[in-house]
Structure 1
Amino acid sequence: MRSVTYSMGVSLDGYIVGPDGTFDWTEPDDEVFRFWIDDIRQVGVHLLGRRLYETMLYWETADQDPSLDDATREWTALWKPLPKVVFSTTLSEVQGNARLASGGLVEEIERLRAEPGEGEIAIGGATLAAEAAAAGLIDEYRAVVHPVLVGGGTPFFPRCERRVDLELAETRTFGSNVAYLRYRVVRQRAAAAAEPSPGVISPAR
């Protein structure tokens, strides 16, 4: 089954956007940008909310700029043809290889998992990630942690009132002091925790 992944740049105190709405501190150097290029190669379809979709529209025409370096052209060549599903109640049309979601997030992910295809189902944006997490659909959390404290803003991790056990699958440190953390959701442990242990009396409900 295709994995559902959530991957974004994040401040050390856990925010993808600061309290002033900016995220200039996530701008990658060459090494981190190469990481993002390699990361997008694993994606089969990208799910986006309206704000992230509009932010990423730049890449639909970026290749027309003759001053782009080779790495940026490589990223653009991977991003443009990548299938995208946009979740919005205000947009009536989208550009490039994208379509507006015809159903809710859960229905779309179930449909994508049932269809033949390769590559991960990547979620972009905290709002979509929170909805997917609440439904127990995220398989991996991937945080590219930047050495900055922004003091507030939009949190990377969904604020859900339930425990989610994770196992560390990969780490990497870049020369710019950026750290990559990839955690896999432990399904078996979560299921076992929901069941009473032998010999333990569950409290009355």
Structure 2
Amino acid sequence: MGHIVYLMNLSLDGFIEGPDGSFAWGRPDEELHQFFNQQAQDFSAFLYGRRMYEVMSVWQTVDTEPSASGFMAEFARIWKSKPKVVFSTTLEKVSENCLLVRGDIAAEVARLKQEHHGDLAVSGPGLASAFARLGLLDEYRLVLSPVLVGGGKPYFPQLDHLVPLRLKETRTFQSGALYLRYQRA
């Protein structure tokens, strides 16, 4: 049975994007990108909301661009090979290897957890917030970047209940980034 994992880059002050909507401050170096490549390889599927799906769609062609580094092209190949589930009420269609879901989030996640035996990665604070409120997140994986952005979209949702967590893994990168992996207790 699959687990739902929320993995995102975030600033030290807790934001996944800055006040201007930019992710540029969190652009990973090669070491960190290789880490993300391994994480992506280990996931059985990616779960996105509309906006994160649109942001990630750039990976459809990165491996064909001559200027792409080897580790970026590798991520693109991994990303394209994995199934993607897009939760959206506004999108009309999604690309190849994607499923568009408009219905009950909890029912769809239950189905996906039965269907996939590996971890399922949810990305984007909107969808992750909906999952957290429904108690659907099994793990939180944070990559803290050594930068303060001062505002923007937070990694953690506002919740009306306590969620006890247990630290399972840490890792420090040359860039000063810190990986933290927590499971629900």
TM-score, normalisation: structure 1: 0.87
- Give the alignment of 1:186-205 within 5 angstroms: 186=185
Aligned match of 1:118: 117
Which segment drifts farther, 59-68 or 9-18? 59-68
Moved over 3 A (4+): none
Instruction: Flag the structure with larger Rg.
Output: 1
| Aligned-partner Cα distance in 2 for 1:122–1:39 | 9
Q: Offset at 1:99?
A: 1.5
Residue pair 2:45, 2:84 contacting (<8 A) in 1 also: yes
| Higher RCO (Cα < 8 Å, 6 or more apart) | 2
Counterpart code for 1:24 = A
SS in 2 for 1:170: strand
| Aligned-partner Cα distance in 2 for 1:53–1:25 | 20
What RMSD, in angstroms, separates the aligned Cα atoms of the two structures? Answer: 1.1
* Paired residue total: 185
Residue pair 1:60, 1:96 contacting (<8 A) in 2 also: no
Counterpart code for 1:164 = V
Aligned match of 1:5: 5
- Give the alignment of 1:35-114 within 5 angstroms: 35-114=35-114
> Among the aligned pairs, what percent are the same residue?
46
Aligned match of 2:165: 166
| Aligned-partner Cα distance in 1 for 2:173–2:9 | 13
TM-score, normalisation: structure 2: 0.96
Q: Offset at 1:66?
A: 2.3
| Aligned-partner Cα distance in 2 for 1:86–1:104 | 13
List per-residue Cα deviations over 1:128-163 (Å, max 9, x = no partner): 111111111111000000011111111101110111
SS in 1 for 2:81: coil
Residue pair 1:11, 1:149 contacting (<8 A) in 2 also: yes
| Aligned-partner Cα distance in 2 for 1:40–1:137 | 20
| Aligned-partner Cα distance in 2 for 1:73–1:151 | 32
Aligned match of 1:185: 184
| Aligned-partner Cα distance in 2 for 1:82–1:71 | 17
Residue pair 1:16, 1:155 contacting (<8 A) in 2 also: yes
Aligned match of 2:33: 33
| Aligned-partner Cα distance in 1 for 2:11–2:144 | 6
